[in-house]
Chains A and B, each alone.
Chain A
């Protein structure tokens, strides 16, 4: 039972990985809980995911708010504001 984390663009570089399987725990209820777990790692995770930094989170490929629920098997992507076009 895991949550698939996806890191893109600048965050992929800062975190040194494009994907990661995060073991699913009962206290991982929302996007905010996942961010808390990642921030607790310190280093680039804490710096890039600080509350005053601009980043977006998509659950199963839809951008969502921080209180969006997560479940085992979800794909949770974290990325900077987009700059295409």
Chain B
């Protein structure tokens, strides 16, 4: 089990990242991945530019904890999380999560779990530029609800 976390300004190549994740491990039977992208609309307003800020140190720490938690819940091999920061525009890729496993059920579930927890726990914040000016994006209750689905009642 390896867990790679990268927080970076640069774009990423999804194909190359998945190839690296799979490399040399014929036990991998499934790779599930998620790409988050910048939309040109939010809350009914057009968005021309977005700026992503984070809390260096805590960001990496929280993502590592989320991936470690996924590894305790599902039978997975490796996880990769890339999150971009800085200035982004519509169509840009923001976030990438990839998980490998022997069978698809584990990587599908772990990938969704990591994204749901990332959305509510990893310290990133978006500020977006709309025709009416710049504003900080507000947290959504629907993201909290998505993460709550994974709470264990043991």
Chain A interface (Cβ < 8 Å from any Cβ of B): 6, 8-10, 54, 58, 61-63, 77, 79-85
Contact = CB atoms under 8 A, between A and B. Distances in A.
B94 A8 contact: no
Given A8-B55, A85-B115, A80 B125 contact: yes
B9 interface: no
9 contacts: A8-B125, A9-B53, A9-B127, A9-B136, A58-B123, A61-B57, A77-B123, A84-B54, A85-B124
A70 B90 CA distance: 42
- For chain B, what secondary structure do more than half of its interface residues adopt (helix, strand, loop), or is it mixed? mixed
Contacts of A62: 58, 61
B58 A82 contact: no
Interface in B3-57: 36, 52-55, 57
B146 to A, nearest CB: 10
Given A82-B121, A84-B124, A84-B126, 4 more contacts: A9-B136, A81-B138, A82-B119, A83-B138
A10 B122 CA distance: 16
Contacts of A63: 121
B36 A85 contact: yes
